[in-house]
Amino acid sequence: MDLSFFWQGWYPITHTAVILIAGYVTLVLILRVSGPRTMTSMTPVDIVVAVTMGSAFGRSITASEVPLSQVVFALVLLVLMQWLFAWVRRRSSRARRLLDAPPVLLYYRGQFQRGAMRSHQVVDDDIYTAARRSGRGDLADVAAVILQQDGSLGVVATGAAGDETTFMPYVGKKDLHRNSG
């Protein structure tokens, strides 16, 4: 019976320990230096970065042929790519439209926006849950429920809606008609 499946000496164990500790410290430092944007509510770009970072770090822990310098380079490059995307996104409305999903009105002044809900696989219970989480016991107290860019549901209370400028630019009267169908 070949025992190499169970034990190949101390080198792989030592390598895993060194890479895990050094990689973990490096990852924490990179995320700390890169600022809170890196770990904010996840947009699709953020999810890609997080999954890729986790994959790179995870592979490096068990792959003895991957040097620490390559792991650090990959993690730094991923954060730099995220910064680059954020920089381009901030300066280009075309990039924003490509990279960001706009907020979507799901409930407005007593009416479920069925078309929008269907398009985004949201059911009535999701709206009720969002209202409860915001401390509202009655949908009459809710002016709007909006599917945010990070996938969360934002609730605007009736008394806090004001002139509705925070959500109406994404809605428009045509959208209200189209969304209700």
Q: What percent of the chain has pLDDT over 70?
A: 78
- Residue pLDDT, tens place only, 45-74: 677 777 777 887 787 777 777 777 777 788
Q: Residue 159 and residue 141: Cα distance in Å, rounded? A: 8
User: Which two three-digit tokens encode residue 117?
Assistant: 């809900």
Beta strand spans in the chain (E)? 104-108, 111-112, 142-147, 153-157
Distances in whole angstroms, Cα of residue 29 to Cα of each of 69, 87, 115: 15, 21, 44
pLDDT band at 129 (very low <50, low <70, confident <90, very high): very high
Residue in the structure block whose two tokens are 């995220």: 82
pLDDT digits (tens, 9 = 90+) for 74-125: 888 888 888 888 888 889 988 877 777 778 889 988 999 999 899 888 999 9
Residue pair 99/45 in contact (Cβ under 8 Å)? The answer is yes
Q: Domain residues of the chain, as ranges?
A: 3-98, 104-179
What is the mean pLDDT of the segment spanning 41-45? 65
Task: Look up residue 95 and give its amino acid.
Answer: A
Distance separating the N- and C-terminal Cα atoms of the chain: 67
Is it the case that residue 39 has pLDDT exceeding 70?
Answer: no
Pick among 3.40.50.150, 3.30.1330.10, 3.30.240.20, 1.10.150.530: CATH of 104-179: 3.30.240.20
Does the model's pTM come out above 0.75? no
- Joined together, the tokens standing for residue 149 give 């860019």
Residues 6+ apart with CB under 8 A from 104: 116, 119, 120, 146, 147, 170
- The whole-angstrom separation of Cα 84 and Cα 49 is 12
Strongest mean pLDDT among 8-17, 45-54, 144-153, 158-167: 144-153
